[in-house]
Amino acid sequence: MADDRPLAMTFDSAAERYQQARPDYPDSLFDSLVDLADLSPGDRLLEIGCATGKATIPLARRGFAITCVDPGPALVEVARRNLAAYPDVDVRHGRFEDVVPDGTAYDLVLAATSWHWLDPEIRYRRAWELLRPGGHLAFWSATHVFPEGGDPIFRELQDVYDEIGEGVPGGAAYARPDELPDQRDEIEASGLFDDLQVRHVDWEVDYDAEGYLALLDTFSGHIAMEPWQRERLYGEIRRRLAERPDGLLRRGWGAVLHVARRRHV
């Protein structure tokens, strides 16, 4: 498989901006997670790729004891600062693939918008090894969705992306809410988890030009752009939003929550 590690590590360069620019996950997502994984306050959680703590903080507020691991040193520094008020949260620098079972049996292993960066040959087995019998694995990604009647600016900007050589691949779909693919087949194929449950969660966020550009600056593909590409794209976004009476765009977000129970193998 291709090595996505260098692209994944671009997030570390945006550590300070990540917490402010990335959207908060809706409470309904965490409510579903707690319900489906049968969690109670005090349960032990291991979070993979916590970044700055976007998912960690809502879970810490719910009273869970959380160990986080992230490969980005700058992200870890920001996460520790953001989570300093929660003594039951331990943020560690490192790769999930390198975590060695030390006898701690976790009630939940979770990954919020980070599961896809992990080696598929390792991730399910390592999660299984770290969970207690009957514990759960949970993961989701936050991605762009296009509701019926949504903001047309994203399609309108494709000519600019094409111009700078960053156009979407031919045949790429504009997924609507509830149309995002799930990973049922992959989870079942691992043979390590059962009682799989999937929930779709959708929400929308309004952005002004600078808020949206700050968001783009946290995406690996935009971070990796050449300066001239970013200048052309960002200038066009500013120009088009300046022509709108309210100066805002509305972006749809979608997440597919997967929760599966550790099998006795």
Between CA 61 and CA 226, with CA 217 as vertex, the angle to 5 degrees is 155
Average confidence (pLDDT) over 18-23 = 82
Query: Which residues touch 182 (CB under 8 Å, ≥6 apart)?
Result: 198, 256, 258
Q: What is the pLDDT of residue 73?
A: 92
Q: Does domain 5-146+174-204+252-262 have CATH number 3.40.50.150?
A: yes
Scanning the structure block, which residue is given the tokens 């009476």?
Answer: 245
Residue 173: exposure state from Cβ atoms within 10 A (0-12, 13-18, ≥19): exposed
CA 100 to chain CA mean position, Å: 24
pLDDT digits (tens, 9 = 90+) for 231-241: 999 999 999 99
Please write the tens of the pLDDT for every residue from 157-183: 999 999 999 987 766 678 998 889 999
Q: What does the pLDDT look like over 127-141, one tens digit per residue?
A: 999 999 999 999 999
95-111 mean pLDDT: 92
Locate the domains of the chain by residue range.
5-146+174-204+252-262
Residue 17 has pLDDT above 60, yes or no: yes
- For tokens 């779709």, the residue is 200
Interatomic CA distance for residues 92 and 67, integer angstroms: 7
Q: Which sign, positive or negative, has the C-alpha torsion 34, 36, 37, 40?
A: positive
Give the pLDDT of residue 160.
96
User: Using CA atoms, how far apart are residues 143 and 125, in angstroms rounded to an integer?
Assistant: 26
Contacts of residue 163, Cβ cutoff 8 Å, sequence gap at least 6: 232
> 13 φ, ψ to 5°?
-70, -15
